[in-house]
Amino acid sequence: MTNDDDAAARRVAGQPRGGGRRESADAAARRIADGVFWLGGCLSAFSAGEEVHYHVSSYLVIGSRATLLVDTGDPAHRPLVLDQLERALGGRPLDYVFPTHPEIPHAGNLPALLERFPGARVVGDVRDYALHFPESEGRFDAKRPGDAIDLGGREFRFLPAYIRDLENTLWGYDSGARMLFVSDGFSFIHDVPSPDGEDEPAHRPGQCRLLSSEMPAPPSVEQAAYGTGRALYWTKFVDVSSAFAEIERTLAELPTELIGPAHGNVIDDVDGMLATSLAAHRRVYEDARI
Ligand SMILES: [Zn+2]
Ligand SMILES: [Zn+2]
């Protein structure tokens, strides 16, 4: 249940945090669209004496009929995520949990969520989940790309993960907010120092809930390439042009105003970030050929 990016996140979590749980205050839930909340916390580390953050985000989608949580957040943030969720739900139950893949920052709070919300069902590519969570067998509903759930007034559709680190990763799309949920895809570092010995997508304290257009400057291709090459090591060896053609086809079919990565600021300037991300992936691939 680990990979480069998430294993590194665990290491960051183990480092001293100068402000105690200060990241919790920075990372208060934000309503980013009608019926969509950005939840989760940040892991923090120090680099050259400066504190930097790494997102471990979840997103709550609220329809008139049902509610759905994309990714569970990290167990290090369990009380924070449960508290944010209760507030955002405003007394409604959580009906669906969609871990984009079975890694700790994405599925680690599943037992706590299923205990808190006894009616909730787990949706997604849930192969092998009963092995990880045998006590919850019977609450897993397998979904394939193209399947959809009617949340009431909006539809949540499951999509292939065009950029992924595990075979059973899925992306999602909410028709209500026209928002694409991309798991480990589209994680950028911004203009901040990387934590010592770590190369994670990072932001500064206070920037935790900023949309990409609200950040002081968009990430450069170099920064995006740096984060991409470290977090998704396989992209050194795979030409992602075809993946981006698929992503562009998806965006043409499903108009997208927001992109929600698990480990990066929410993207609201979709066209610009797509161009940067594609250029970054190409840079990583071409540099690995030299
Ligand atoms: Zn991840
Ligand atoms: Zn943060």
Q: Which domains does the chain have, with CATH numbers?
A: 4-143+158-289 (3.60.15.10)
Alpha-carbon distance of 25 to 63, in angstroms, equals 27
Question: What are the tokens at 136?
Answer: 């919850």
Residue 29 is classified by DSSP as: -
Question: What are the tokens at 277?
Answer: 């991300």
Ligand 1 centroid to Cα of residue 58, in Å, is 11
Across 89-178, the runs of DSSP E, i.e. the strands, are 96-98, 121-124, 140-142, 148-150, 155-160, 170-174
Ligand located closest to 163 CA: 1
Across the chain, the runs of DSSP E, i.e. the strands, are 30-33, 36-47, 50-62, 67-70, 96-98, 121-124, 140-142, 148-150, 155-160, 170-174, 179-183, 258-261
Q: What confidence tier does 45 reach under pLDDT thresholds 50, 70, 90?
A: confident
Q: What are phi and psi of 183, to 5 degrees?
A: 50, -120
Q: What confidence tier does 255 reach under pLDDT thresholds 50, 70, 90?
A: very high
**Radius of gyration of the chain, Cα coordinates, nearest whole angstrom:** 18
Ligand 2 centroid to Cα of residue 19, in Å, is 12
Q: Are 104 and 74 in contact (CB under 8 A)?
A: yes
Residues with Cβ within 8 Å of residue 77, at least 6 apart in sequence: 24, 40, 41, 56, 109
Question: What are the tokens at 289?
Answer: 């050929």
Ligand 2 centroid to Cα of residue 175, in Å, is 27
DSSP H or E stretch at residue 273:
helix 270-289
| SS3 assignment, position 142 | strand
Nearest to 4 by CA among 236, 275, 276, 240: 236
Ligand 2 centroid to Cα of residue 43, in Å, is 7
Ligand located closest to 208 CA: 2
Ligand located closest to 5 CA: 1
Q: What confidence tier does 222 reach under pLDDT thresholds 50, 70, 90?
A: confident
Ligand 1 centroid to Cα of residue 253, in Å, is 26
Q: Beta-carbon neighbour count of residue 268 at 10 Å?
A: 18
Ligand 2 centroid to Cα of residue 265, in Å, is 9
- pLDDT at position 191 is 57
Tell me: pLDDT of 193 over 80.
Answer: no
Alpha-carbon distance of 267 to 55, in angstroms, equals 13
Ligand 2 centroid to Cα of residue 29, in Å, is 12
Ligand 1 centroid to Cα of residue 178, in Å, is 22
Nearest to 198 by CA among 12, 2, 6, 1: 12
Q: Which of 54-63, 110-119, 233-242 has the lowest mean pLDDT?
A: 233-242
Question: What are the tokens at 237?
Answer: 């060896």
Ligand 2 centroid to Cα of residue 156, in Å, is 27
In the block, tokens 């909730």 appear at: 120
Tell me: pLDDT of 80 over 70.
Answer: yes
Which range of 84-93, 131-140, 228-237 scores highest in mean pLDDT? It is: 84-93
Ligand located closest to 80 CA: 2
Ligand 2 centroid to Cα of residue 120, in Å, is 28
Ligand 2 centroid to Cα of residue 53, in Å, is 5
Ligand 2 centroid to Cα of residue 195, in Å, is 13
- pLDDT at position 280 is 78
